[in-house]
Structure 1
Amino acid sequence: MPFRLNPTFREVLSGASRPLAGMWLCSGSPIVAEICAGAGLDWLLLDMEHSPNGLESVLAQLHATSGYPVSTLVRVPANDLVTIKQVLDLGAQNILVPMVNSSDEARLAVEAIRYPPRGRRGVGSALARSARWNRVPGYLDNADDHVALFVQVETSAAVEAAGQIAAVDGVAGVFVGPSDLAASMGLIGQQTHPDVTQAVLRAFRAVHAAGKHVGVNAFDPAVAQSYLNAGADFVLVGADVAVLARQSEALAARWIPGSDEVEGGSY
């Protein structure tokens, strides 16, 4: 029986009438992923770079979120051909590659999501969830329609090359990471420093000039709104682990004497 895959996040962004709000999933829990999938957010990001996620836990979370009207992206740990192939074969349709600093690195990421002769993705769709074990008609010929690649700009060098990175054929959009960007500018932990926010906005302008979608991470509501006002197409506005940390601290502060002395970080 033929199977129809969901639209990619590229298609969802192109058809959106407003910026899209998303949430980071870092816990590795499919239960948490399903709770967040049903919350009404536009998109979710499963993180393999800074979270305890491997192939099995990513697969479980893809299963958990698949029944909800939310786009799910997977951030791979690195711009690695083998890892990207494996994550695609799990059925991830939207990939985010971190630390892309040049158009050459962006082209390597594009090659990783495309089958030969245009790319270097290994052919295993008959064995994999990506094509639903060959239940998606014409998957090999039309794989580009089923996969969207987003790359992350998060260093000073990447900001300067943002326009060239975004212009690479096969890159659907660029996600700006203020935390690592701040660190690369000698301002670690100061992602809202004026110099950092100005660099983020320069990246916005360059990506939009290349005709691509641009997103950013901003857990502070005021900062998130400022980036939306500046033209961000999609924004990560929270994380599962951060919400749990802050809300559990709030419960303790309300009910346990002296527990409000715990210093939780901002998100």
Structure 2
Amino acid sequence: MTPSARLRENKVHIGTWLSIGSPVIAELAAESGLDWLLFDLEHGCGTEDALLGQLQAIRGSHAAAVVRVGAPHADLIARVLDRGADGIMVPHVSTVAQAELCVRAAHYPPRGRRGVARSVRACGYGLRPLENAAALVPPLIVAQIETAEGVENARAIAQVDGIDVLFVGPADLQFDLNAHPEQAVRDYQGCLAEVAAAASAAGKQCGILVRNPEETDTFHKLGFTLLGVDSDLAILRKGYQALVTARPGSDQQT
């Protein structure tokens, strides 16, 4: 079973955010047994040029490589998939039209409009035939719900053929709800329930970024199965802070 196919299974998938852009960290995360890794090109320190080395570092591992592009733009989506990502995460998907754009950008004709290039890594640099688009493994497409508008349209977005996961962006969603209280028809917890219900009704996965590993069970009970737990940067930060607080004689020492 391919990595993208595994992530479509209705069970818990534990992954993490990779924001630093290091192939070594990517390889370590994959070797640690995580189900999926999110390479962040929206807010992370890594660049599109550095992505290739990270994807190569986890080749052959169990972990699926999902790349978050900076925006729902067709050219960004196509370039990431050409580099061999198993799936894409697209931020700020608030309408059906945006969701459909993502699907078209990720698929070859006749289903989509992705350009054909046999020399890219996704095609083995020309060593693997690309004769029949229908025979290719479809990429996982993760639509991030990060606004009140996205929540309102969540059921329709989940019904779009080709969208595999609705993924809540907690920080952006809470910020949007606070910035536009007059548009919010439900509170944050209500939004989480609505998105999870929308995904379930469509037979799709629902995911969320979890900052505290101890909260994974809580979110799973709410209906979330694709869990992005913490990040490489945050894990390092907390580790370094622990070293400082462990200083002998420190007032912060426990």
TM superposition score normalised by structure 2: 0.90
Partner SS for 2:207? strand
Match of 1:166 in 2: 158
Unaligned 5+ runs, structure 2:
181-185
Please give the alpha-carbon distance, in whole angstroms, between the structure 1 residues aligned to 2:47 and 2:131. 25
CA RMSD of aligned residues (A): 2.2
Instruction: Please give the alpha-carbon distance, in whole angstroms, between the structure 2 residues aligned to 1:259 and 1:97.
Output: 44
Structure 1 residues 31 and 222 mapped into 2: Cα distance closer, same or farther (>3 Å)? closer
Letter in 1 for 2:158: A
- The residue that corresponds to 2:45 in the other structure is 52
Question: What is the match of residue 42 of structure 1?
Answer: 35
The letter for the 1-side match of 2:159 is A
Asked whether the equivalents of residues 109 and 133 of structure 2 are also in contact (C-alpha less than 8 Å), the reply is no
Contact 1:163 1:207 in 2 (8 A): yes
SS of equivalent to 2:61: coil
CA distance in 2, matches of 1:15, 1:75: 20
Q: How does 1:108-147 map to 2 (within 5 A)?
A: 108-124=101-117, 126-138=118-130, 140-142=132-134, 145-147=137-139
Report if the CA contact (8 A) 1:106-1:151 is conserved.
yes
Which runs of 4 or more aligned residues in structure 1 lie more than 6 Å from their structure 2 counterparts after TM superposition? Answer: none
Q: C-alpha offsets along residues 189-223 of structure 1, whole Å, 9 cap, x if unaligned?
A: xxxxx931221111100111111111111112343
Other structure's SS at 2:137 match: helix
Alignment of 1:85 onto 2:55 = no
d(CA) in 2 for partners of 1:15, 1:58: 26
Decide which of 207, 216, 222 is 1:230's aligned counterpart. Answer: 222
Paired residues in the alignment total 248
Q: Does 2:22 align with 1:29?
A: yes
Where structure 1 has 5 or more consecutive residues not aligned to the other structure, the ranges are: 1-5, 189-193, 262-267
Structure 1 residue aligned with 2:244: 252
Alpha-carbon distance in 1 for matches of 2:2, 2:131: 14
Q: What amino acid sits opposite 2:56 in the alignment?
A: H
Query: Residue 74 of structure 1 aligns to a residue in which SS?
Result: strand
Displacement after TM superposition at 1:251 (Å): 0.8
The amino acid across from 2:7 in the alignment is L
Q: Contact 1:155/1:181 (CA < 8 Å) preserved in 2?
A: yes
- Percent identical: 35
Change beyond 3 A, Cα 1:144–1:170 = farther
Equivalent residue number for residue 3 of structure 1: none
Distance 1:68 1:256 in 2: 41
1:56-78 alpha-carbon deviations (Å, 9 max, x no partner): 21111101111321111111111
Give the C-alpha shift of residue 230 in structure 1.
Answer: 1.6
How far residue 137 of structure 1 moved from its aligned partner, in angstroms, is 3.8
Structure 1 pair 32–236 and aligned structure 2 pair: CA distance change class (3 A): same
Q: Give the match's secondary structure for 1:41.
A: coil
Amino acid at match of 1:66: R
